[in-house]
């Protein structure tokens, strides 16, 4: 499958904090070499296969769940390591882009982890859809792109952050396990044995990549899943939602939810 959309950009569109210049996908990405002529930011996400990025005399490998964040006017080259190398990409610009990335310490191109690659792909498909079918697609695409940018910044620029090829690989089995078993009883020891590393080193990896401990991440995952249930399964009682994400004690769940979201689960449901 090949799809490549160049949306029409008006002067008004170019004044948006973030706007999209192109979006698309390839079944197989051919080798690409650019000098300093390309004036947009790019996020190129690996869906299948693997590739390599060469930039600043450094070499980075890109695997599924990872992506290349490329700054404008920075020379680079990327090519497939395996065939086919399938990717989804988006090019974007706007006054807010530099400030968001700078605020999180991201100042150069590189390979970074997408800790929730399906989330990123869903957003990319959403942008592609509105730009293809909506007359004022940029006004719908802009906030989606801004949200993606913020999420990406949090993933790659937490305190002491590591590049994807340094940190995401070892943590991937743990993150995948939490995604599948977040509603079950999870302990630090259990998660550490998945890699395997010591509990202390697992905490170090989480702090470096996510800025939080493994069990804090589990809590965040459970609360995130509970928000989905609150909105998509409105017939469920609060205690049923709590149990579905791993909390038999409903009062404890409500307390955690309020600490993170600043509102109760009931109030959150009403607000949305």
Q: Do domains 2-156 and 164-271 have the same CATH topology?
A: no
Q: Which CATH superfamily is domain 164-271 in?
A: Homeodomain-like (1.10.10.60)
Give the per-residue pLDDT at 164.
Answer: 45
Distance CA(243)–CA(238), nearest Å, equals 9
pLDDT for the residue 39: 92
- What pLDDT was estimated at residue 35? 87
Give, for all 272 residues of the chain, the pLDDT tens digit.
577 888 988 889 999 999 999 999 999 999 999 988 899 999 999 999 999 999 988 899 998 878 899 999 999 999 999 989 999 999 999 999 998 888 777 888 888 876 667 788 888 999 999 998 888 899 999 999 998 888 776 655 433 344 444 445 578 889 889 999 999 999 999 999 999 889 998 998 888 777 789 999 999 999 999 998 998 888 999 999 999 999 999 999 999 999 988 999 999 898 87
Domain extents for the chain? 2-156, 164-271
pTM equals 0.61
Beta bridge partners of 52: 61, 79
Measured torsion, CA atoms of residues 179, 185, 189, 190, in degrees rounded to the nearest 10: -60
Note the pLDDT of residue 156. Answer: 54
Separation between Cα atoms, residue 16 and residue 143, nearest integer Å: 10
The pLDDT of residue 154 = 63
How far is residue 91's CA from residue 101's CA, in Å, rounded to a whole number? 15
| Angle at 166 (CA atoms; ends 224, 23), nearest 5 degrees | 60
Query: Residue 204 has which token pair?
Result: 């170090």
Q: Quick one: tokens of 26? A: 């390839």
Q: Report pLDDT for 66.
A: 85
Q: In the 3-class helix/strand/coil scheme, how is 103-141 assigned residue by residue? A: HCCCCCCEEEECCCHHHHHHHHHHHHHHHHHCCCHHHHH
Give dist(CA 226, CA 182) in Å, integer. Answer: 11
Please give the backbone phi and psi of residue 169, each rounded to the nearest 5 degrees, phi first: -55, -55
In CATH, the architecture of 2-156 is Sandwich (2.60)
Predicted pLDDT at 16:
94
């Amino acid at each position: 499958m090949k799809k490549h959309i160049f949306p029409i950009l008006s002067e008004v569109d170019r004044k948006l904090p973030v706007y999209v210049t192109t979006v698309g996908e390839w079944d197989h990405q051919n080798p690409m070499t650019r000098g300093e002529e390309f004036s947009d930011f790019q996020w190129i996400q690996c869906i299948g296969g693997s590739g390599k990025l060469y930039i600043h005399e450094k070499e980075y490998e890109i695997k599924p769940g990872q992506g290349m964040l490329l700054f404008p006017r920075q020379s680079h080259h990327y090519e497939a390591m395996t065939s086919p190398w399938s990717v989804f990409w988006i090019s974007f610009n706007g006054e807010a882009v530099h400030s968001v990335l700078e605020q999180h310490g991201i100042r150069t191109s590189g390979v970074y982890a997408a800790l929730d690659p399906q989330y990123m792909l869903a957003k990319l498909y959403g942008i592609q859809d509105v730009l293809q079918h909506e007359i004022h697609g940029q006004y719908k695409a802009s906030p989606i792109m801004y949200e993606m940018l913020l999420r990406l910044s949090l993933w790659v620029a937490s305190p002491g952050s590591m590049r994807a090829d340094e940190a995401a690989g070892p943590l991937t089995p743990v993150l995948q396990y939490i995604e599948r078993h977040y509603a079950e009883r999870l302990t630090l020891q259990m998660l550490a044995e998945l890699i395997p590393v010591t509990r202390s080193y697992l905490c170090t990896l989480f702090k470096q990549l996510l800025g939080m401990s493994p069990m804090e991440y589990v809590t965040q995952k459970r609360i995130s899943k509970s928000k989905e249930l609150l909105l998509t399964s409105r017939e469920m009682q609060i205690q049923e939602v709590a149990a579905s994400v791993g909390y038999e004690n409903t009062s404890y769940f409500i307390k955690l939810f309020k600490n993170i979201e600043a509102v109760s689960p009931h109030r959150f449901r009403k607000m949305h």
